[in-house]
Structure formats: C-alpha cells, structure tokens
Structure 1
Amino acid sequence: MADKVYVDNTEATAAWNTVLFDRFSQYRHIFVVALKRFGDVAIAEGPPRAGDRILDIGCGFGDTAQQLAQVAGPSSHVVGVDAAERFIDAARDEAARAGVENVEFVVADVQTEPLSGPYDYAFARMGTMFFANPVAALRNVRQSLRPDGTLTMVVWRRKLDNEWMQRSEEVVDRLVPKPNAEESDALTCGPGPFSMANADTTSDILRAAGFERIALRRVDLDMLVGQDAQEAVEVALALGPAAETVRLAGDDAERVRPLIERDLRALAGEYTSASGAIVAPASAWVVSAHAPAAG
C-alpha cells in the first residue's frame, strides 16, 4: 500500500468515529480482551499510586480508565480522552452503569487540545500510534504532567512478531493489487498500529517531546484472534493491516474476496488451539517515561 502523508488527525478521527468504531464494537470481545492482556502487564509493572490524578490517552470504551480508577482507589481521579465522540459516549454510559464515580471522559485531540491537569500519571493502551504528529501529541501529554510525572504506554512491536496481522496481510497482498492510499476515498486510521514498533523511533519521539528516563520492555503473549476459523477471518477483514488494504482497494478486493476468505481460513487452521479457538503469537512494547523533575 502506498504511503500516505498525514498533516493532522482529522481522517483518523473520522475513521475511528465511523467504520472503525462499528467494527471495534462488533468484535469487542476479541479486540478488547486481546489488548487488555498487554495493558494488565503494563499496569502491574508500573501502576499509578493511590490518589493519583490520571490521564488515559485514547481511552476507547473507557474500560482501562475504570481499571486505573480501581487500582488507584476512590481518592484518585481519571480523565479519559479520545478524539472519537462515539467512544466517549460509550465510555460515559458504561462508567455510569458500573457506578464508577471517579472517572470522567472528554472528547479531545491529544495532539492539539488542552488536556488540563496537572496529572501524576498518564497511560495509553495502544492509543498513541495513530497521531499524525506524535511528538506534538506526546509533548502535550508531557506538559500536562506534574514534574517527574510518569507516562506508561503499550504499543505494538514490529509486524513480523505479530504473526496473525503479518500473515493475514500477506494473504491479501498476494490477491489484491496494491491500493494507493492517497487516491482512495476510504478512511484510514492514520500512520497505523506499527508506527512505534521500532524502539529507537519511539525513544526519539519521547525525547523530542521532552520525556526523560525512557525504558522499553518487550512483552510477548498469545492473542485470541477468533473463537473459530470463521470468526478469525471476519476479524482479520474488520480491523488491522489486512482490513485496511481491503477497504482501500474497494472493488479490486471485493472481486477476489472469496479467495481471500478461503486463504485466511487455511491460515487460521495453523493457529487452532485445543479448544478450537484461533490463537497467535503477539508482541508489544511496554514503555515508561518521565516528565523532567522540578528544578
């Protein structure tokens, strides 16, 4: 797929507020469960403290904001921000139904809008990879932290170490002519889920944003990608690199969709667990960084 230049987050926000919200909602039992395992590791290794004021970046449905509020206790306060209004509406509704009172949710583009604060702790579970200008976004996060405040984030490592996403995209690439993202009318999610896969790139972004004491730890986990082969195929064509190629290719992909689905089902067979669920290796970075100390 041809590279696309993003000047702001307008297109990514529109995508997450429409087609990607719909697909993420439909397969939430796959996506959120899979991502939560990585988020749990990050929170366990670097939890907020009791009473912290916390920023949850790219909060989605707000499940992580609720989790952080529970970890930091009733005297804490969590602000979940997301550029997609439909996610914020869902997050507010779910927190209200759960009776969680020390969270609030705000529609905001982290790259350009004030984040209030000061916060003691900022967290992002796969929420920082889609910024058109990640340095500007993370500088804004850093400026919202108190001196020596902590940022913990989870980002995907390289695609090669996330086998289902890598190999499902290869299936599509064999069958579909490479689309030109600049010429397609289909919405894209911005730079994409692997924009922070390189440790040096991510470290450089954080340093440019003003963070210090940066550390990355590799976390490898098995990830559920479908309860069975058919659902794994649907998930691959709903969200992720393969899905974006199909969406951008339009009619060219639809003409060969039966062949794509056939080959994806065959691929899913290689990852079938004893229970019949489709489980594949996945890999992410747990990243920690600090705002400069006072003085």
Structure 2
Amino acid sequence: RRYDRLAAQVRAAFAREYVTSSGRVLGDAATTYALALQWSLLPAEAQRLHAGRRLADLVRTAGFRISTGFVGTPLMTDALTDAGEPELAYRLLLQTGCPSWLYAVTMGATTVWERWDSMLPDGSINPGEMTSFNHYALGAVADWLHRRVAGLAAAAPGYRRLLVRPVPGAALTSASARHLTPYGEAAVSWRRADGRLRLTVTVPVGAEAEVHVPGAAAGVEVRHGTHEWTVPDPYAHGPALAAEPTIREVMDHPPAWDQVVAAAAAAGAGDEAQVAQRLRPYLDAPATGLADALTAGGFVPGAAELQARLAGLSFP
C-alpha cells in the first residue's frame, strides 16, 4: 500500500509539473515520450494517445533514425508498438543511415557500440572519449525482437506461463525465438509466404501459453506440445496509400517515401534525415504540397530541379 501510494503521488507530480492537458511532455524529445509512455507516467488516456502520436511524428521527422541514448533506446520500439505504430518501430530497426543499429553493421561491426557513431562514415574513430566498440546498452532492441517481433515472452515467473503475441511487419518474412526455461525449451516462429502466415509455438511440459495469432480477435490457451496456425498474411499485398495522401502518409509508405528521398538526393537537396526534418511543420498538409514544403516555396538550393523531379512522381 505504501509504495502504491508513492507511485501514484510521483505520477501525479510528474504530470502536474511536466505534462500538458493534451499530452505534450516538456522537452518534446523521443526519450521523453518513450519514458512517459512505458513508465505509465501519463494519467489520462487522451494524454497517452497524444503522446504516442507525437512520438511517432518525432520518429518520422528524424528520418526514421534513432535519436535516443542509454535510457530511451530500450523503450523506443516498445513505445511505438504500444502506440499502434509497429511499422515505425520496424523502420527504426532496419534503418542503415547514421544513427541506427544497422549503420554499425554497414561499417563492418560484429558487436554493439557504445555510441551510434563510434566509427564515423569515413572509417575513422570518433575522437570523443566515450567510444567503446563492445557495449551492451544500445543492443537492448534485442529484447523487443524476442518479445514482440518473434513473440516469445514470459507471462509468469520462470516462464511457467508464456505470452505469445508476435508482431509481424511488412519488412520481414520470418522471425523466431527460443528460450531454455526451467521446464524445457520454449519456442516461437512465424513465416510469411504465398499469401499466408504460419505460426508455430512449442510449449514445454509443465508450462502453458496464451497465444495471440495475428489477425485473431482473442487469444487461445494451449498446454505442452507443438502447435501450429495458418492465417492470411496481413502484408501480402504491400502497403496501401490513400488516393489523396497527406505528407505524413507518404512518409509512412516506404515506396513513395523512397521516391521522394531519391529525388531530393539527385537534386542535391539533402539526405533522408534533412528532407524529413524540413517536412516537420507540414505533416498534415496534402502530398501535393511536397515540392513547396521541401523547397520553402522555391528558395532553397536546388529548388528548381527538386520541384521538377517531384512533379514527375505520382502518389499512389
């Protein structure tokens, strides 16, 4: 009771001091929203919804690049998934531009670095003092990969009860995870192929599992053994784009967004992160205004060429 009261007091004090009634959190940074959402610091549902939307927009306007450090990084992909934006979590995961998890892989890394740019794009070592090439913290995304992407999580101490709730995405065709529990090996795997998604779950003897099959309205209870489900692949037909999309919707549609980024690069108007940052004030505007938004009405370098290249694109 004592700590329940203390938690409620801390939550109320945080919200009173740092959160607006609509859910804008002081600092307005990705880490700020990830912490507030995942640590249940926003008392009202409307605040949580607004904070989730704001976090998603910060990810978009950062060019789908991770912008957090040791505290925020372990929470980002969970916060986006819980906010109903799992595809943005995937966009963060699979980004190769710096900063990102896969940037290090493109630079030949076989370990997790202490900072996103421990090695600079030219191959030189970051001159800062904080430059370890074998550090655990930023690799905390693996926890989300196990629990949410593959879908294997503990629902009771010692994995006596499993929670299987995979979150497939359009960018992956398969995922799997396994864990040696005190009861034996538990495993989950899923694969997308030929318009179908196949989910396989192994529950050890003495344990049980609550399984949420993608697309199903409710979970099912299963006991030991190997269980399989085959359902329609929710991503079989690729992402859809509205007939008259907003700029936000274009950014959320990877094929359309890749066209915009390629056009900007060809015109010398910046890379993905710079283009995304320039669009920050215009996310709700119609996509027909992309050229004006990216060129400030024709006043940025390369504006004429970029406008011409964008005019040649069609959405959807």
| Same-fold call, TM cutoff 0.5 | no
Larger Rg: 2
The normalised TM-score by structure 2 is: 0.28
Structure with the larger strand share: 1
Relative contact order, CA 8 A, sep 6+: which one is greater?
Answer: 1
